Amino acid sequence: MKVGFIGLGIMGKPMCKNVLKAGYEVVVFDVNKATVEELVGVGASACASSKEVGANCDVLITMVPNSPHVKAVLFGENGAAEGLVKGATVIDMSSINPVESQNIGKELAKIGVEFLDAPVSGGEPKAIDGTISVMVGGKEEIFTKYYDLIKSMAGSVVRVGDIGAGNTTKLANQIIVALNIAAVSEAFVLCEKANVDPQLVFDAIKGGLAGSTVLNAKAPMMISRNFEPGFRIELHIKDLQNALDTSHAINVSLPLTSQVMEIMQALKVDGRETKDHSAILNYYEKINNITVGNK
């Protein structure tokens, strides 16, 4: 099985490295030439365009920021769809609008190409150690065929339904993560204002009902004031916009999601959109005129 990989950013690069470590033959393309060279250095073969990747793989993995980027990679000038042959499969691991996933699947079906939407959760650390969670939408037989390939990058791989279900699940994930980070931020600002050490609060509550993967990952970043991504605020804004767009399309009200979206937008106005989403704390610090953690 020959694997194509397009999109070698913060997540895509370590994911691609894990596919290589699993022994797959991989061809790659990215606009960042230095990253391509790095992947070539660990065993990948470079292609000059998305079309060339499509023509030289059995299954294509895409990992790019949003719906327009996926469509450009697949259907734009020199896009992968021009090279893909009937019977190939595209696994889009980007986080995009589920309606767009369904549309992309329909377009690929016209040329006899299968499609899975398979967004991921876990951030850069889990992408590096191969323990991301992958939520997959698509035909069960196609999921089964490529399960081992996806599992080479992941700790958990679950099929959640047909095309679009993967990204719907990812939107649910991103809502829960965003609201959780906001809750931790509120709690830490309260504790700091009350002269209770947030580190001791974290130590006290992490084993109880308030404990979570989000708390364990983000509380130490907040306390040490390390807001380097991770997962950038601008990407979480994109995910929440997709969640709100989807909710409006199907007549669902998401009031808390819209509130956290406005918090992230305020951080963007402050020029913090490239910081880790744990920097939601900075919004609460600003409105309360206090600094949490190490001074």
Report CA dihedral (102, 108, 109, 113) to the nearest 10 degrees: -130
CA distance 87 to 84: 9
* Residue 12 identity (one-letter amino acid): G
Would you state the pLDDT for residue 125? 87
Domain 168-288: CATH superfamily, name plus number: N-(1-d-carboxylethyl)-l-norvaline Dehydrogenase; domain 2 (1.10.1040.10)
Q: What is the CATH number of domain 2-162?
A: 3.40.50.720
> Average pLDDT for consecutive 10-residue bins of the chain (295 residues)?
96 97 97 96 97 97 95 96 97 95 97 97 90 97 98 98 97 96 98 96 97 96 93 93 93 98 98 97 97 80
DSSP string for residues in the chain: -EEEEE--STTHHHHHHHHHHTT-EEEEE-S-HHHHHHHHHTT-EE-SSHHHHHHT-SEEEE--SSHHHHHHHHHSTT-GGGTPPTT-EEEE-S---HHHHHHHHHHHHTTT-EEEE--EESHHHHHHHT-EEEEEES-HHHHHHTHHHHHTTEEEEEEEESTTHHHHHHHHHHHHHHHHHHHHHHHHHHHHHTT--HHHHHHHHTTSTT--HHHHHHHHHHHHT----SSBHHHHHHHHHHHHHHHHHTT---HHHHHHHHHHHHHHHTT-TTSBGGGHHHHHHHHHT---S--
Would you state the pLDDT for residue 293? 84
CA distances from 194 to 142, 204, 219, 294 (A): 55, 16, 18, 16
Q: Please, where in the chain does CATH 1.10.1040.10 lie?
A: 168-288
Q: Please, where in the chain does CATH 3.40.50.720 lie?
A: 2-162
The residues annotated as belonging to the active site are 170
CA proximity to 124, closest of 282, 257, 235:
235
CA proximity to 67, closest of 112, 24, 102, 106:
102
CB atoms within 10 A of CB 187: 19
